[in-house]
């Protein structure tokens, strides 16, 4: 079976049929009739299917359905909501292989990573099932006799989700699984570069929700460009907007949501570094750094952008990395023998080339040469060679996040505190790591005076995250937290309650107000 025939079969398995109006979007089960866009695979430049975007009127229909659905969904007991999410996890398990393949083909990440992303969906659903019985509040003692105080959490309402192309399904589910068990409803605007995976997720969700009598509107989908995102950011009917993407986009969303005093959960750019100390084990350094730099072709927000290497081992590490890069296999990401797939589109390729040129103009020295691959298997023009450039931390291009497999390496001298200062010396603050066998160095890195990132790892790389921990970063990364730990609280409103079970009405702080 040819690749195109296999993908067509996968689309059919996932409930996606293309007709004259474009692919079946399932946009909250409201047909979209806006401008038609093509989903083009970066693997081979083939058009997978066409999709109609939602109009403003259709966006409003989806929001209105969500508002209505919330009134009913919030009254369903949380453990019953959790049971429905448990069933969703089982259904995603059933569709793991075809959905993982579609993620790989539409976005361009390796099949292993595509399947891994679907597994993240399953994992967060499992987490949410347990959470549905743990939406804990607190009880505290009142200063007034015959009074009891406690606080509890209630559903917030509509959660608007704006997701990026690089994790086209997992980040949506990080939000929805938690929001749904919290009693919220969700409206999703996926990246227009990966609409088909979003439609597939909507169909899978609808199978489970329809079987359980979940009201239409609990899961909504509006495919569109930045204009739909602006509508959502400015919509006072959407109390929380969770947005994943560039810092530029996040600043725009945050400003719009803040202007109306709404809430925003922002997961934005990263400029992640690994500090490599003299005691580091090279057997751990090389695979951690290489996967971090080239996984998903450098298109993860947690991708390793910088290596900060002690001068005493700099040449040894540089040579080991160069040798490892020679072993990388670049090609069709659905072939599990390949390590690196394509960039998402030609704009990404141009950004990659411009960044290499800018680094060289600032004085950077190429260690492993980059470039665009051509010829058989590379017809899409989106396959590039991962490259390594010796640079300085203060270079303008190094301070900027480029979504591509470019790794900047640089030296530090003296103590680990000098390396930590370099690691922190960028506008972003998402993920960070240190490779060391010295306890004092690892503790310094993890201390209040250490890494200023939301994620700080010891002897693992910057890329990848487990469901159990809260995911997110500081500074220009936006400050948001998704996934595990107590990230669920952002999807709820806190309420403090006081109950007077006495026969009098004493006032707080001993105030007397006799009538």
Catalytic (active-site) positions: 267, 301
Per DSSP, the three-state class of 248 is helix
Structure tokens at 411: 């030296």
Q: Per the structure block, which two tokens stand in for 467?
A: 């469901």
Structure tokens at 366: 């190429």
How many angstroms separate the CA atoms of 511 and 404, rounded?
64
Cβ distance 202 to 39 under 8 Å?
no
SS3 308: strand
Other CB atoms within 10 A of residue 253 CB: 25
- Compute the half-sphere exposure of residue 137: CA atoms within 13 Å on the CB side of its CA: 15
Helix (H) or strand (E) holding 494: strand 492-500
**Sequence-ordered list of residues with C-beta below 8 angstroms from that of 37, at least 6 positions apart, any chain:** 50, 51, 52, 53, 192, 195, 223
Q: Could you tell me which of 98, 27, 16 has the C-alpha nearest to residue 50?
A: 16
Q: What share of the chain is helix, strand, coil (3-state, %, to 5)?
A: 40, 20, 40
CA angle in degrees (0–180, nearest 5) for 418-422-424: 115
DSSP state of 340: B
Radius of gyration of the chain (CA): 25
Nearest to 177 by CA among 223, 122, 139: 122
Q: For residue 23, what are the contacts with CB-CB under 8 A and spacing of at least 6? A: 11, 16, 17, 39, 49, 50, 51, 195, 196, 199
């Amino acid at each position: 079976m040819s690749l195109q025939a296999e993908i067509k079969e996968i689309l059919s398995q996932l409930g996606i049929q293309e007709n004259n109006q474009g692919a079946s979007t399932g946009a909250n089960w409201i047909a979209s009739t806006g401008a038609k866009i093509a989903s083009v695979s970066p693997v081979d430049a083939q058009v997978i299917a066409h999709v109609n975007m939602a109009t403003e009127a259709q966006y409003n229909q989806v929001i209105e359905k969500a508002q209505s659905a919330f009134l009913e969904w919030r009254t369903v007991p949380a453990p019953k909501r959790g049971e429905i999410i448990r069933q969703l996890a089982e259904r995603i398990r059933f569709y793991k292989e075809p959905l993982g393949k579609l993620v790989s083909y539409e976005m361009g990440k390796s099949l292993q990573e595509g399947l891994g992303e679907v597994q993240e969906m399953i994992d967060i659903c499992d987490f949410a099932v347990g959470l549905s019985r743990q939406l804990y509040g607190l009880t505290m003692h009142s200063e007034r006799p015959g009074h009891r105080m406690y606080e509890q959490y209630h559903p917030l309402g509509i959660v608007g989700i704006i997701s990026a192309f690089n994790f086209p399904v997992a980040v949506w589910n990080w939000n929805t699984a938690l929001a749904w068990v919290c009693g919220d409803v969700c409206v999703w605007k996926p990246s227009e570069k990966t609409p088909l995976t979003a439609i597939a997720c909507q169909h899978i969700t609808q199978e489970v929700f329809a079987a359980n009598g979940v009201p239409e509107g609990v899961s909504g989908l509006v495919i569109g460009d930045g204009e739909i995102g602006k509508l959502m950011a400015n919509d006072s009917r959407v109390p929380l907007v969770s947005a994943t993407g560039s810092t530029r986009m996040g600043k725009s969303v945050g400003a719009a949501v803040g202007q109306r005093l709404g809430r925003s959960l922002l997961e934005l750019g990263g400029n992640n570094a690994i500090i490599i100390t003299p005691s580091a084990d090279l057997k751990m350094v090389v695979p951690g750094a290489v996967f971090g730099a080239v996984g998903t072709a450098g298109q993860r927000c947690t991708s390793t952008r910088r290596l900060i290497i002690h001068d005493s081992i700099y040449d040894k590490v540089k040579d080991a990395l160069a040798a490892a890069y020679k072993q990388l296999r670049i090609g069709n990401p659905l072939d599990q023998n390949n390590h690196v797939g394509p960039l998402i589109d030609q704009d990404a390729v141009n950004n990659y080339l411009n960044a290499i040129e800018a680094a060289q103009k600032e004085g950077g020295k190429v260690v492993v040469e980059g470039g665009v691959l051509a010829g058989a298997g590379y017809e899409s023009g989106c396959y590039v060679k991962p490259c390594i450039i010796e640079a300085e931390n203060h270079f303008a291009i190094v301070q900027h996040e480029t979504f591509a497999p470019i790794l900047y390496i640089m030296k530090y001298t003296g103590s680990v505190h000098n390396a930590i200062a370099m690691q922190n010396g960028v506008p972003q603050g998402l993920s960070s790591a240190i490779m060391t066998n010295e306890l004092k160095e690892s503790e310094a890195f993890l201390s209040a005076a250490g890494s200023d990132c939301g994620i700080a790892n010891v002897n693992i790389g910057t890329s990848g995250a487990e469901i159990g921990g809260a995911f997110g970063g500081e500074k220009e990364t936006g400050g948001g937290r998704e996934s595990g730990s107590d990230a669920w609280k952002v999807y709820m409103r806190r309420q403090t309650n006081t109950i007077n079970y006495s026969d009098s009405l004493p006032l707080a702080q001993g105030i007397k107000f006799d009538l």
